[in-house]
Amino acid sequence: MEKPMDTKRFETMSSLNDSLPLPGLMARMGLQTLKIALGNEIAKGLLDLWRGKFALLLEMIAFSFFFLVIAFAQGKGSFQQAAIVPLLLGFVGYLFFHMQTNRLFWGLLGEIQSGTLEQMHLSPLPSWLLLAGLAVASIVEALITTILMYLLVRLVVPVTIPLRLSALLPLALLTVGSVGYSLIVGGLTLRFKRLEILKEFLQAVVFLFGGVFVSPSHMPHWMATIARFLPITPGIAGLQQTLLGGVSLAMLFSDGSII
């Protein structure tokens, strides 16, 4: 069956825009159009988050309870401030990674299974821009849920994490590592469709070896080697060094860990 003219026109425009770099796309579509496209994706993600607010709250309570159990066991029957703060930083970093990758993975898989993924080719905007909007939405959602979990923990244990500008770089590394990983898994999802078990396995590896509980410098050599190639390890280690150890950016670059 021949496609309607409007459908063919939109597909042609989308195909042409897919090949344009960002400066060319801005010149063709206009900056305001690109802002609207990204804003729509973020708004859609936040609406989905709000629709599942009760399930999200239960999940955050479960994560907070899990963290408190670990911290209680680590403190041998008490919450020790000196030990709980670095553990909280690592756990919060992993939670951000977990929520961001889950949002992008399940968002893509849901659209594949419902048959709506192909609709992005009916838009005059390039598919990569719509996917970038989904990635930005997943970052915003993960940030909101991470802050919520941190606040829930503070209701039980009065912990204080100092804020330093030097932590912005490790935070950026954590975000880039998480998004990069989620895009790899998203690409594999588009290709193979059924990757739930693989995704859960990889998240478990990151949870155990990503520096959440123990710094790579205190791990056995073989574990530290695995940790070095995981997406959140440099971000978590950098956050702990800058926020808790007062390490400057110059010191982070000097030992080669950031590079």
DSSP string, 25-93: HHHHH-HHHHHHHHHHHHHHHHHHHHHTHHHHHHHHHHHHHHHHHHHHHHTTSS--HHHHHHHHHHHHH
- The pLDDT value recorded for residue 96 is 92
Say what the pLDDT of residue 12 is.
46
pTM comes to: 0.80
For residues 198 and 72, the answer to whether their CB atoms sit within 8 Å is: no
pLDDT at 16: 45
Average pLDDT, the chain: 79
pLDDT (tens digit per residue) in 189-238: 878 867 788 888 888 999 989 888 888 888 888 888 888 888 888 888 88
CA distance 16 to 6: 15
**According to the model, what pLDDT value does residue 97 have?**
92
What letter represents residue 225's amino acid?
T
Using alpha carbons, select from 135, 144, 140 the residue that is nearest to residue 92: 144
Cα distance between residue 46 and residue 138, in whole Å: 9
* 83 within 8 A of 75, measured Cβ to Cβ: yes
DSSP state of 256: T
Closest CA to 159 of 88, 247, 71, 95: 88
Distance, CA of 146 to CA of 196 (rounded, Å): 23
**pLDDT value of residue 95:** 92
Looking at residue 51, its pLDDT comes to: 82
**42-143-253 Cα angle (round to 5):** 115
Task: Report the alpha-carbon distance of residue 197 to residue 178 in Å, rounded.
Answer: 18
Low-confidence ranges of the chain (pLDDT < 50): 1-17
Where are the chain's structural domains? 31-255
pLDDT of residue 80: 78
